[in-house]
Amino acid sequence: MWRRILALTIKEFLTLLKDKRSRVVIIVPPLIQLIVFGYAATFDLKQVPFAVFNEDSGIVSRQVIAAFRGSPSFEEVEQLTQDREIVPMIDSKQALLVIRIGSRFSAEVLNGHPAPIQIMVDGRNSNTAQLAVNYAQLIIKQFNTDWVASHGGRPPPAVIETRAWFNPNLESRWFFVPGIVGLLTLLVTMLVTALSVAREREQGTFDQLLVTPLRPVEILLGKALPSFVIGIAEATVIILVAVFWFHVPLLGSLLTLYTGIVLFLLSAIGLGLMISSLAVTQQQGLLGAFFFMVPAIILSGFATPIENMPSLVQDLTLLNPLRYFLVVLRGVFLEGTPFHLLIHPFVAMASIGAVALTSAAWLFRHRMY
């Protein structure tokens, strides 16, 4: 039995490697997507364009503006001289943020009185606007602290000190890149698996399998093993790039990580074989794979928290293996989560994989004859 399965597995590998397009699909797009996602998928803001309308000529206002100019998060694009210049500056998107300092600002601060600073932000992209405001508040808070330390005065009665666990620098890339490991592994595995049986039918070689000594289960295993090996190799390469190129810390155990990878691949391969068993042509297999992958990525928690989704949608995510794999990836990478704390996602992925592989075997047997 295993000799026949091995022969079919080798045949599948040769089919993939002989086809130039298949080689390109397996190797090139995942690496390109990893680099693009790793640099583009970030919530961090760099060089936010801002304009200044300073009605005060005092030294304090100049120090505040200098604090913004010295921040790597902001880039000054214009100094305004009239009130009516503010609206066109934001409306034309030349500046995301305008800082307005009143004429009595320095005098009020030097007299020990609170002095307001007005910050006007382009709110068309609410997430970007909120981040820009948070950055501005941090700069002003640091200015207040430095001013009290150097000029005296009463410090605030309570000071909040924030410490971020698992991502002390709050690098959003550390959050996204482990998720990309799951996303690209799913992409490659599903494409390879979903096209395997459909390719046989389209090329007319499927009937040849029927006259071989191979049983349906053996053919199914022969189709699944190449996808499994490719998935392991693909995940390993992406993990190496994440650790050594993007410098994302891998704090957990490799045993825990690869247990999650193996269980996730079993579920992804089972779903891919289900699609491939139903597809008659490679185009149908490709469309079926993307029909599954797009909702799977959206409902996985890759970019948006599952807790913010409606309750019905949250229930649907329970059927998504990528949801559980992202928990494993981010837990092992950033938190160093031990094996026993990830039993729930392991069991969930194993259950999905068992149901998917069983369904694929049933479909394969009934679609074969």
User: Taking all residues of the chain, what is their mean pLDDT, rounded to a whole number?
Assistant: 82
341 C-beta neighbours (distance < 10 Å), count: 11
Q: Which residue has the higher pLDDT, 174 or 266?
A: 266
pLDDT at 17 over 50: yes
Query: 18, exposed or middle or buried, with CB in 10 Å at 0-12, 13-18, 19+?
Result: exposed
Percentage of residues in the chain having pLDDT higher than 70 = 79
Residue 158: per-residue pLDDT? 47
Q: Of the given ranges (120-124, 227-231, 348-352), which has the lowest mean pLDDT?
A: 120-124
Most confident among 144-158, 261-275, 290-304 (mean pLDDT): 261-275
SS3 label, residue 61 = helix
Q: Of the given ranges (40-49, 292-301, 338-347), which has the lowest mean pLDDT?
A: 40-49
Q: Write down all domains in the chain, each with its CATH number in brackets.
A: 2-41+171-368 (no CATH), 48-151 (3.40.1710.10)
- The pair of three-digit structure tokens given for residue 298, joined into one six-digit string: 């959206």
pTM of the model: 0.73
Average pLDDT on 226-235 reads 88
**Matching residue, tokens 């069991």:** 347
Q: pLDDT of 47-77, one tens digit each?
A: 889 999 999 888 888 998 999 998 888 999 9
pLDDT at 359 over 70: yes
Split at pLDDT 50, 70, 90, the class of 312 is: confident
Residue 162: per-residue pLDDT? 59
Helices 343-368 and 254-278 cross at an angle (nearest 10°) of 30
DSSP string, 174-213: HHHHHHHHHHHHHHHHHHHHHHHHHHHHHHT-HHHHHTSS
Q: Which residue has the higher pLDDT, 14 or 150?
A: 150
Query: Are the C-beta atoms of 109 and 60 separated by less than 8 Å?
Result: yes
Q: Count of alpha carbons within 13 Å of 229, Cβ hemisphere only?
A: 11
